[in-house]
Amino acid sequence: MEALGTGIPQTKLLGFCHKQIKQRLFHKRQVSKCDIVSAFHSSDKEHHHSLSYNASSLYIPSKERKYLGKSSYSSEACSFDENMAGASSTTAREKIGVLLLNLGGPETLQDVQPFLFNLFADPDIIRLPRWFRFLQRPLAQLISVVRAPKSKEGYASIGGGSPLRRITNEQADALKHALEKKKLHTNVYVAMRYWYPFTEEAIQQIKRDKITKLVILPLYPQYSISTSGSSIRVLQNIFREDAYFEGLPISIIESWYQREGYIKSMADLIEKELLSFSNPEEVMIFFSAHGVPVSYVEDAGDPYRDQMEHCIRLIMNELKSRGVTNQHTLAYQSRVGPVQWLKPYTDEVLVELGKKGVKSLLAVPISFVSEHIETLEEIDMEYKELALESGIKNWGRVPALGCTSSFITDLADAVLEALPSASATSRARRETDDSDNDFMQYAIKLFFGSILAFLFLFSPKLISSLRNNLL
């Protein structure tokens, strides 16, 4: 997560967020190893009442507001000649769009606090009941101000800002060219959840380009309600309110961790880095994934943990087929605050491995396909230092996939496989969440959290306590 190694859904840390999301967002079916969601017909009523997402709900510096909706990574850098030789008559008549979803990150130190505000203002990060949603923005402001100084230190240590936008643009460009080689003309767009280019900007460009079919591809291999889910719900709300998208065929590739191309690409990187050790067979392969609160998985039905464990089994099976039989382990990083997160924790496991006599370790950032704060600062600096202090002598780290050709080619294949499943969206009216109406069941869980929210806003002592917990 780009908020300085805090794991996307970090504000469960305050205990305000006990309302749960019930299982998955969409009905889905299997299409050639991709989970494709072909329409925005939610099977969960809760998501129909979520807050409306638009530019006004995000912090946008005044000097930059004029750019909202005017630019995205699209027509200038990511479009093809519509009459490209080799394109089929079908694709020649259509205008295909591919929308890449990612988190976003502050590009300068001045961006850190407003970026954090946008993150914490997301009702999928701090989930408040309908009666207390007026607290969403004040609470986000409080947390972002408290957290910003520590976050700025982290971003300063990696050059003063996140490289995520640049890398995602490079991936978009590479995907465009990979699709071109497969004779598919596309416009590729980038939509960031919490910083530029915002989702709304990409949507406006899609409309200006008159796209006739759209594939949505989150750049998160594994699905979580706090990453892919949050971005998809933003799109749900936009599409529901915009007549342009009524009847527009859309496919969503919900998760793709199980694709053969991705698994082999990860195995390639691991195998290559193992060879940098003097005794490769002795190296412990250490998978580190960003964490989520346990309640997301156990109460809200988030499939993230199951998908992560399955992903690692697939990668290790691939390595075993190549004769690589190293031991491996999985841990979760970036926990923050007093609530329980997925275990085991990365920092604790590193200490344990040192005590057990592990001398060589290869860190694998498994939930990330781009370098960002969690890889460059948290893993490369914090965890490396901890590992060496714990007795591990030889440290290595597998780079993020980035624009690895085999990985990009597989993403292009995923897009091609998704296109036939594209179907029209529905502009059905939002329904009222039954659980919202059940005040006894719902409000009791959030009553104390809401009181705490007020206290945090008005009590200097509690604000000081919060600062100590966050930092």
Domains of the chain, by residue range, sit at 10-256+404-434, 260-397
- What per-residue confidence (pLDDT) applies to 17? 34
Q: How far is CA 46 from CA 294, 403, 406, 433, in A?
A: 20, 37, 38, 5
- pLDDT band, very low/low/confident/very high, at 197 (cuts 50, 70, 90): very high
How many CA atoms lie less than 13 Å away from 308 in the CB half-sphere? 24
Give me 47's structure tokens. Answer: 């998501």
10-256+404-434 and 260-397 share one CATH topology? yes
From CA 106, how far away is CA 3, in angstroms rounded?
Answer: 9
Q: In terms of residues, how long is the chain?
A: 471
pLDDT of residue 449: 45
Which one is predicted more confidently, 134 or 200? 200
Pairwise pLDDT comparison (263 vs 130), residue with the higher score: 263
pLDDT at 249: 97
Q: What is the pLDDT of residue 139?
A: 86
Per the CB < 8 A criterion, the answer to whether 17 and 11 are in contact is: yes
The CA radius of gyration of the chain, in Å to the nearest whole number, is: 22
Q: Could you give the count of Cα atoms lying within 13 Å of 13 in the half-sphere of its Cβ?
A: 23
Mean pLDDT, all residues of the chain: 79
pLDDT tens figures, 396-448: 999 999 999 999 999 999 999 999 999 986 655 444 344 444 544 444 444 44
CATH number of this structure's domain 260-397? 3.40.50.1400
Which architecture does CATH list for 10-256+404-434? 3-Layer(aba) Sandwich (3.40)
pLDDT at 15: 32
CA distance 286 to 301: 26
Residue 404 to residue 401: CA distance in whole angstroms: 6
Sheet holding 394-397, edge to edge: 328-333, 284-290, 360-365, 394-397
At residue 308, the pLDDT reads 98
Which class for 242: exposed (0-12), middle (13-18), buried (19 or more C-beta within 10 A)? middle
Q: Which amino acid would we find at residue 358?
A: V
Residue with tokens 């936008």: 165
Say how far apart CA 166 and CA 102 lie, in whole Å. 12
Looking at residue 85, its pLDDT comes to 36
Q: Which amino acid is at 122?
A: D
Q: Is a pLDDT exceeding 90 seen at residue 339?
A: no
| pLDDT given for residue 426 in this prediction | 61
Spatial contact of 380 and 365, defined as CB atoms under 8 Å apart: no
pTM: 0.77
